[in-house]
Structure 1
């Protein structure tokens, strides 16, 4: 993310909601206040725990015998798979799938499925799902929230079952099932490649990212899970297949203190790119991180090696939030243009997680072609004090 010397942001400002949205808000006021209270409580206790137990940050913190700064992440348990596929007791955690599916007819469909678990005075589990028909841009979505953890116990993985939906994994074999808005999604996924453990360039602790005062996050991906399954759209059964990106992230980090631009890209040269660009409520950069993975392994990118230039914005007709939906990206491997398949990919999750975000499929052109997913989160808080 770039800003000028005066620290101005390229992002649009939040402009409020229309009267129809305010009526909808009042209808969900009670449940939303409850969710917000749970999230804030969980984040408060997470921060208190961090202040008491977390090691000092490398910047200005202790050094080892050789004078090298000690990483905060080095004091935490290392990533341990498959045990770490399972739910943790951290303040925030999510499991996330996104991909573009191909039908034998030539039609294409994009989807994302996410499971969120927030731990506070009360544990809440939330599921989000969206499916976009790329032939006509029609979008279907669903969301569900419940107290507790609706998951069956497994030895190595997870098995969430809620309102007829299922998101489960046992090692590298995953299952995703959901019915919503008259459509359904049923996928079996398998991963033959190595897990990508994200880390900052120069860090000795793979699988962990330090967000500074906002906390620390465990983070790993399975960038190209082979998916086979079936969609039901307009009463038709449609066999589909494709490469799906899977993310698992957890920790005691404060999701209310920052927003992000996130990119998960499958490139035609066989490489996979994850870019994570965090910003504060004024649109100023907090952290830029990335990973390029190939058959030879995964390489973390330095912040100086990632240049993200925002382009065209799209403003939601429903929430009036403006999102940067087109980007120019410069990496050591080349220069790329990222554009959405469908502008209107906003997910309004007020009734389950009390937030709004943009999540949708993107096309990549430039030094090489490709496709993937982009998530824009926290834009509703930009410029608000």
Structure 2
């Protein structure tokens, strides 16, 4: 969905500011009441480049990039870059330190044997972190995702940079393909009770550049994926976490699938099939067969790191498995996120609430 990716992390900060406390059952407060904020409703007409920038009326939004990369020797890497904007209260943005926005960045690099992640927090209004539509730029400190000068369109030619104590990456992302509106023309349902987000993607990025791990640099290339979502209450009170896949098929299609787990039923399962030309088809529960096959023990948790995924209507039957089963994001709220591979493609998997 990414509900992706994780506006929920900063909801630790929001919990002290909401008028109503988060229901105890909901994952990280994402089911808490948001009546004072703008609401997600069907029928939105997206406007670009404006919608690449922030949406201050909504409580939560994020810019999220993943990349599946290889070097010339066949070594496999995964890269994640996420920026979250979180409003502490409803109302227009304020200048300087009066601004009530909190920004959060998550970045990570994964190989078959190593996984490193880092996070940063920033207060809005003072320039340390922000996002703008034209020219597109999203940043927190020196972690940056920005349109290159002279690009034909805001997301056609991008640079992605981040670093941590034991890793760094600097990638060039390009695409001439159209954006993809997820769900019902960008209205992405998260439950049968009406929770939703506005959600679009660019699943056709090609990435190239450098990745460094433990002081060793690698020249890499491969497919990348951008997700953009914003909402004010993306989960229901009984929804406890999610399993989210973004997959690049060797035959040219792209696939996004997510399952939101809940305490009072089997969960909410949906997705989007994206053909090689960028045309989409919404997938519903009856269209998708998803189940975990094997788990990995991490810090006392059993994390599903090998899955069976079938889309019978598309003649797809695959077994995505983690490149590195120990890709645990040990951050403010821990979760699992890392690259996956399967016979016929690669992708990314995020799992929360375990």
Query: TM-score normalised to the size of structure 1?
Result: 0.74
1:38/1:119 contact within 8 Å kept: no
- 1:191 is aligned, of 164, 170, 175, to 175
Shift of 1:215: 2.6
Q: Could you list the runs of 5+ residues in structure 1 that have no partner in the other structure?
A: 1-30, 56-71, 200-204, 380-385
Which residue of the partner structure matches residue 314 of structure 1?
296
Shift of 1:360: 0.9
Shift of 1:151: 2.2
Shift of 1:255: 4.9
- 1:104 is aligned, of 40, 65, 72, to 72
CA RMSD for the aligned pairs?
2.6
1:233 aligns with 2:213: yes
SS at match of 1:304: helix
1:222/1:247 contact within 8 Å kept: yes
1:73/1:210 contact within 8 Å kept: no
**Distance in 1 separating the partners of 2:350 and 2:323:** 13
Instruction: Within 5 Å, give how 1:107-256 maps onto structure 2.
Output: 107-121=75-89, 122-134=100-112, 137-148=113-124, 150-151=129-130, 153-162=132-141, 164-169=142-147, 170-199=154-183, 205-212=184-191, 213=193, 215-255=195-235
Which residue of the partner structure matches residue 66 of structure 1?
none
Larger Rg computed on CA atoms: 1
- 2:268 is aligned, of 273, 276, 287, to 287
Deviations 1:46-92 (CA, angstroms, capped at 9, x unpaired): 62147xx869xxxxxxxxxxxxxxxx413xx3222221111112111
Deviations 1:250-270 (CA, angstroms, capped at 9, x unpaired): 111245843111011111211
2:195/2:235 contact within 8 Å kept: no
**Residues paired across the two proteins, number:** 311
SS at match of 1:206: coil
**Distance in 2 separating the partners of 1:230 and 1:43:** 36
SS at match of 1:37: coil
Query: TM-score normalised to the size of structure 2?
Result: 0.80
**Distance in 2 separating the partners of 1:376 and 1:120:** 25
Deviations 1:207-243 (CA, angstroms, capped at 9, x unpaired): 1113344632011111121112112333333222111
* Greater helix proportion: 1
SS at match of 2:233: coil
1:47 aligns with 2:34: yes
**Distance in 1 separating the partners of 2:168 and 2:321:** 27
Going from structure 1 to structure 2, the CA distance change for 1:272 and 1:349 (only over 3 Å counts) comes to same
